[in-house]
Copies of this chain bind each other. A is one copy, B any other.
């Protein structure tokens, strides 16, 4: 008995069977993550001091500097940035929408401009509104009914879908392509129902895209409550008008950066494992769940390794991608440089689904590697993380797929995400320290096991 204790005290855990050693190390990773407040305080700083960090803004530059500094202070083997050019879209100081009905009175709606949209002139657009639920409806209505009007896209996200990302995907075409689709028929602007199942007065912004050769018309989103009001009023007074003013605009491209920190691999430094999130965020919230959490978790993985003396065989990088929300130039640049430098990316993991309680991981790879990866689930069961599934990836790591990299997504519980996503309430206060850290620890453990067992 005493001998055992002495051996343990001497740290001779190497005498234990491998599985027991793993279990003990996993326990230590979770213990450290669940007792440290560092990641949480880093997230607080990022949220409270770099709000507005759309790519190309001074706030984004501050976020670059902050995360770079945090990683430098950790004493990582290398911390560096990658230069890239990004669009510079700036929201104006006026975003205004008022419904005006001769019969019902007038009411201001809670709106915000969609990313990369053009603005209106100073007097704004005052026009009749036509409500549609799909592009097919637009086609049926045709130019005669649409020309000069503001098109109101009002198809809700389907609340009955269990996978809210699927529901999001099925509704987001209105936001992304609505303006050009409506402009084809001569619409003067579009107002789009926020892509969320939440019924509240927060607008949820997001990127939109103009088709080449189609007039660029202003595009705003409206809160779901605003959309419900507008729709109800339109039924009573189809001749009501909407007065829309927005002075956002796009400036010439500017330089921005990906931020990277790494622990160099002990025996296979040329094989690279990345964990990452995106550093840019929509300006109307603090970018806490989307995706401050993912960035901070990625940094935390390296901190956990440092603090616990874990030295992976392969190089492990935390990558803060820039410009995910608008044009994914950071992802593009990262993959381009990886190719240029003949880097071998063994595994890339993305955390960009919010800092909620992790439920598992999704994996994209060939079947022979998949089996081993799915088999890691057993290690996570004691921590309530039980869903290891086929299919992973993410906007920022997908470009690495062609070189054969295994892509992995952290999959947190998703049901609350839509409430916060791209909205003013995506704030630090909505992130729970334990849920955030279950994510950090899970990633750290997964990467540790993949590296150790060459999966």
Contact = CB atoms under 8 A, between A and B. Distances in A.
Interface in A73-126: none
A434 B30 CA distance: 29
B31 A160 contact: yes
A416 B432 contact: yes
B160 A383 contact: no
Most B-side CB within 10 Å, residue of A37, A198, A387, A434: A434
6 contacts: A357-B357, A359-B384, A384-B387, A415-B432, A415-B435, A416-B435
Given A198-B433, A357-B413, A415-B438, 19 more contacts: A30-B160, A30-B162, A31-B160, A34-B159, A34-B160, A37-B199, A162-B383, A162-B384, A164-B434, A197-B434, A357-B357, A357-B415, A384-B387, A386-B387, A413-B413, A416-B432, A416-B434, A416-B435, A419-B432
A341 interface: no
A35 interface: yes
A169 interface: no
Contacts of A17: none
A382 interface: yes
A368 B160 CA distance: 35
B383 A386 contact: no
Q: How large is the interface on A (under 10, 10 to 19, 20 to 34, 35 or more residues)?
A: 20 to 34
A435 B164 CA distance: 12
Most chain B beta-carbon contacts within 10 A, residue among A359, A382, A438: A359
Contacts of A164: 434
Given A386-B386, A419-B432, A35 B159 contact: yes
A79 B260 CA distance: 63
Contacts of A35: 159-160
Interface in A6-31: 30-31
Interface string A418-440: 01000000000000111100100
A440 to B, nearest CB: 13
A146 to B, nearest CB: 31
3 tightest A-B CB contacts, nearest first: A415-B434, A31-B160, A34-B159
B382 A162 contact: yes
